[in-house]
Chain A
């Protein structure tokens, strides 16, 4: 089954404790992206990757890091989480072709930073 998986689904942590949210896709997609969803703000892009070893900032990258060492994986790293990073996070992937615009989303990770 074609899918995007994220782990963990729920995470409660404390300020400053480094964490990683994993994302994996099995569709051989070139393009992967991280979003955060906040009330009244919709989905905002954090970082994206056009292919292995190619990453770039989205609209709200501050406080986050990513890496793309393998095509299927795109982890999101919070080196020193703060309460304003409490949010619902989604990973998404799509083919890198210009004609392929549909993005497939993971189930989400709800993060609470206290």
Chain B
């Protein structure tokens, strides 16, 4: 049972345009949501996060939006650059009430930014 879903395996956008990557989740116990970026032959690297008590977090060209009622989050990249081409993983943290850092990952979306 996939608790974190990324329904789009791939996305292609033109340089300078907006990229929107989507993620849906099912578990109401998630307390943080994160986006990771992965280049080929490298490990995932943390990009941006949002607490479950917020609805927006912005960091430069990257903005994450959280809609708790819809159990949906999205990552906006504006403007998109060719160097943004990578696989993007959505992840959610489960909070068991103690010091736990279990992350549940989505299946990833391959973003291709065309020059």
Contacts and interface: CB of A to CB of B under 8 A. Distances in A.
Contacts of B42: 107-108
Nearest to A30: B99
Interface residues of B, number: 27
Interface string B50-94: 000000000000000000000000000000000000000101010
A43 B44 contact: yes
Contact of A102 (B34, B89, B99): B34
B86 to A, nearest CB: 13
A43 B89 contact: yes
A103 B46 contact: yes
A103 to B, nearest CB: 6
B108 to A, nearest CB: 6
B101 A41 contact: no
B98 interface: yes
Interface of B: 4, 6, 9, 32, 34, 36, 41-46, 49, 89, 91, 93, 95, 98-103, 105-108
A31 B89 contact: no
A48 interface: yes
A97 interface: yes
Interface residues of A, number: 28
B45 A105 contact: yes
Contacts of B44: 43, 90, 105
Contacts of A65: none
A103 B107 contact: no
Contacts, number: 61
A2 to B, nearest CB: 12
Given A42-B107, A107-B41, A102 B49 contact: yes
A104 B45 CA distance: 7
Given A42-B6, A43-B91, A92-B43, 19 more contacts: A31-B101, A33-B101, A40-B9, A41-B107, A42-B4, A42-B106, A50-B100, A98-B98, A101-B49, A101-B93, A101-B103, A102-B49, A103-B46, A103-B103, A105-B43, A106-B43, A107-B41, A108-B41, A108-B42
A48 B102 contact: yes
Contacts of A108: 41-43
